[in-house]
Amino acid sequence: MLRLVIFFAILTSAGAPASAAGPTDGYVGSNVCKACHPDVWLNFYKNPHFKSIASGKEAPERTGCEGCHGPAKGHVEARGGSKTIPRAFSLMTPRRQLDTCLACHSKDMSRGEIRRSTHTESEVVCSTCHSIHKPRTPKFLLAKTQNDLCYGCHNAVKAQFSMPFKHRVNEGFMSCTDCHNPHGTSSPSWRMGARPRLTSTGHDGEQSCVRCHTDKRGPFAFEHAALRTDGCETCHSPHGSTNPRLLRRPTVITLCLECHNGAGTFGRSGTGIQTQSSTHNMADPRYQNCTVCHLRIHGSNADPRFFR
Ligand code: HEC
Ligand code: HEC
Ligand code: HEC
Ligand code: HEC
Ligand code: HEC
Ligand code: HEC
Ligand code: HEC
Ligand code: HEC
Ligand code: HEC
Ligand code: HEC
113-117, 223-227, 241-245, 282-286 — which is least confidently predicted? 282-286
Ligand 5 mean position, distance from CA 239 (Å): 6
Q: Does the beta carbon of 75 lie inside 6 Å of ligand 9?
A: no
- Residue 52 to residues 43, 48, 99, 296: CA-CA distances in angstroms? 15, 9, 19, 54
Q: Is the pLDDT of residue 16 over 80?
A: no
- For a pocket test of ligand 7, which of 146, 201, 209 has the largest count of ligand atoms closer than 8 A to its C-beta? 209
CA distance 254 to 218: 25
- 166, 204 contact by CB (below 8 A): no
Residue pLDDT, tens place only, 70-84: 999 999 999 999 999
More confident residue, 204 or 269: 204
Ligand 3 mean position, distance from CA 48 (Å): 7
Burial per residue of 174-187, b for 16 or more beta-carbon CB atoms within 10 angstroms, e otherwise: eebeebbbbbbbee
Closest to 196 in 3D by CA, of 237, 226, 205, 107: 205
Q: Does the beta carbon of 255 lie inside 6 Å of ligand 9?
A: yes
- For a pocket test of ligand 8, which of 211, 297, 307 has the largest count of ligand atoms closer than 8 A to its C-beta? 297
CB atoms within 10 A of CB 197: 13
CA distance 183 to 119: 7
Residue pLDDT, tens place only, 249-289: 999 999 998 888 765 444 444 445 544 556 677 777 888 88
Phi-psi region of 200 (alpha: psi -120 to 50; beta: other; left: phi over 0): beta
CA distance 56 to 51: 8
